[in-house]
Amino acid sequence: MFNKKLPHRLTFLAAATMGLWLGGCTVGPNFHPPQVAMPKHWAGGKINAATPPAAKLQSIITTKRAHLATWWTKFHDPELTALIQQAATRNLTILQAQVAIRQARYARDIAAANLGPFVNANASYQRSGTSNNLTKAGHTRSTSNFYQSGLSASWELDIFGGVKRAVQAANYNLAAADENSHTVMITLLSEVATDYITLRGVQQQLFVARTNIHLQQQTVTLTRRQFKNGLNTELALADAESQLATTESQIAPLQTQQQQLIYALSVLLGQPPAALLRQLSTPGTIPPVPPSVPIGLPAQLLLRRPDVRTAESQLAAATAEIGVATAELYPTFVINGNLGFSSQNAANWFDSNSLNWGIGPSVSWAIFSSGQIESSIHQNEAIRDEYYLAYRQSVLTALQQVDSAIAAYTHEQEHEKALQAAVKASQQATKLSLELYKAGLTDFLNVLQAQQSLYAAQNSLVLSKLALSNDLVSLYQALGGGWHHQK
């Protein structure tokens, strides 16, 4: 049945086509970065508090990217810096992300090529003969040769900007690939730093365990001597030996964890698992946090978080795709041309009498598509809306990660400070209890309890220092990977 709305649509499209042609406009919506309400301050912790912990969180202008392979120098650990620099150039995941950028760049070039003309060369030869049953009586079958060569060209005029929108979308996809590579780099280097810091923490735990084993061995020796001299009980000796054995049992799991972390670091650097075993098995200290940490303001996060920038680029590309789909509503204008030579004899194939040519415009217009084009436009609008929601979600996720990292970092500093006091008190208690025990002024149980408390406090302090440095790595990662001071 004839669609009564079709003449009205033709009239509207004809008027719109003429207006767009004369005005040189590009169909489809233009992209504008979405406006997102951002908090004025971070909720995760106090910045520049009156009584700051070991490292201050400074709210300064930090909107520019930092070089991701160098800002780890703030930990003042040359080994960590060297590992970071190697990972940035050797890691296979990073290389994959860089290849993805190349793919996006070539996709952009493919789309941009549609703005220019296309020229094809062709040549052919054909020998043919007629059917005997098609020839007149008395005539014999005829054969002939046909030689043809030439050039054909076409150029689609992008009057309504459909190709320009496709190029815009490709450019935004290229930007998204670049930002994604930046995200991969931040994730990788954060993982290298976390594994390295954890490795040093495990080595510090081994040091603490061995130090306490040495102390407890002395206690066992003293208790055994007193037992032989009748100055102590067999139960006291058994308790001392049990405590020593329990502490010694911590060594093997820590050694296993140490090797596994070295294997992981080797693979992150694009090397076989045991490549760094000799280099990193030598114990080292946990990299200390810097005295101050610039974190910027929440609004600046949108300028630095590559995942947020990726989401914005994807939203922009989806917006441009609406224009690509909208351009299908309008006519397509193409200039066609050809230049060639045709002949039945090879001898005069390329002389002037064999020349043929043609040039002229053509137009095609999908006047009626049963709603397919309109549905395509609506589909791309829905895709755009989906990416808009994804962008908003990425902003909320970024805020959550930064606030959580700030809270963990500031509170862990308080935790570490309390543990330092606990270790100091436990050391004094252990020293006094042992002296009193030797003088016969206290029970052996007090010595055991003091040594147990000392080991637990020292181990907890190592874990706190480890958590503090790793919390800073998480904060760096949440902030988009480093910072740049603007003065």
What does 387-408 look like in DSSP terms, one character per residue? HHHHHHHHHHHHHHHHHHHHHH
Q: What is the CA radius of gyration of the chain?
A: 38
**Global confidence as pTM:** 0.82
Q: What is the pLDDT of residue 56?
A: 60
Residue 368 has pLDDT above 50, yes or no: yes
Asked which of 39-53, 151-165, 402-416 is least confident by mean pLDDT, the reply is 39-53
- Segment 478-487, tens digit of pLDDT: 988 755 444 3
* Paired strand residues for 361: 335
pLDDT band of residue 232 (cuts 50, 70, 90) is confident
Identity of the highest mean pLDDT range in 49-53, 231-235, 457-461:
457-461
Residue 303 has pLDDT above 70, yes or no: yes
- Segment 331-344, tens digit of pLDDT: 999 999 999 999 88
Residue 51 has pLDDT above 60, yes or no: no
Residue ranges with strand state E in 330-394:
332-343, 355-364
Q: What is the pLDDT of residue 216?
A: 95
What does the alpha-carbon distance between residue 177 and residue 283 come to, in Å, rounded to a whole number?
39
Q: What is the pLDDT of residue 443?
A: 86
Who wins on pLDDT, 43 or 369? 369
- Segment 73-91, tens digit of pLDDT: 888 999 999 999 999 999 9
What is the chain's mean pLDDT, rounded?
A: 87
- Which CATH architecture is the domain 25-115+162-329+374-478 placed in? Up-down Bundle (1.20)
What does the alpha-carbon distance between residue 244 and residue 212 come to, in Å, rounded to a whole number?
9
- Segment 425-465, tens digit of pLDDT: 999 999 999 999 888 888 888 999 999 999 999 999 999 99
Q: Are 6 and 366 in contact (CB under 8 A)?
A: no
Q: What is the mean pLDDT of residues 21-44?
A: 80
Residue 250 has pLDDT above 60, yes or no: yes
Who wins on pLDDT, 61 or 87? 87
Residue 152 has pLDDT above 80, yes or no: yes
Q: What is the pLDDT of residue 6?
A: 41
Contacts of 204 (CB under 8 A, 6+ apart): 283, 285, 286, 462, 465, 466
Residue in 450, 471, 427, 147 with CA at minimum distance from that of residue 290:
471
Q: What is the pLDDT of residue 16?
A: 47
Q: What is the pLDDT of residue 139?
A: 61
Kindly report the number of other CB atoms within 10 A of residue 213's CB atom.
18
Residue in 189, 188, 191 with CA at minimum distance from that of residue 199:
191
Q: What is the pLDDT of residue 21?
A: 47
pLDDT band of residue 143 (cuts 50, 70, 90) is confident
Residue in 464, 482, 485 with CA at minimum distance from that of residue 409:
464
Q: What is the pLDDT of residue 485?
A: 43
Residue in 77, 354, 296 with CA at minimum distance from that of residue 192:
77
- Segment 304-340, tens digit of pLDDT: 889 999 999 999 999 999 999 999 999 999 999 999 9
Residue 70 has pLDDT above 50, yes or no: yes
Between helices 444-478 and 372-438, what is the axis angle to 10°? 160
Six-digit token pair at 2? Answer: 């004839």
Residue 28 has pLDDT above 90, yes or no: yes
Q: 3-class secondary structure for 199-267?
A: HHHHHHHHHHHHHHHHHHHHHHHHHHHHHHCCCCCHHHHHHHHHHHHHHHCCHHHHHHHHHHHHHHHHH
Residue 411 has pLDDT above 60, yes or no: yes
Q: What is the mean pLDDT of residues 32-45?
A: 84
Q: Are 177 and 100 in contact (CB under 8 A)?
A: yes
Between helices 306-326 and 162-228, what is the axis angle to 10°? 160
Residue 22 has pLDDT above 50, yes or no: no
- Segment 163-198, tens digit of pLDDT: 999 999 999 999 999 999 999 999 999 999 999 999
Contacts of 192 (CB under 8 A, 6+ apart): 83, 84, 87, 265, 268, 269
Residue 55 has pLDDT above 60, yes or no: no
What does the alpha-carbon distance between residue 217 and residue 219 come to, in Å, rounded to a whole number?
5
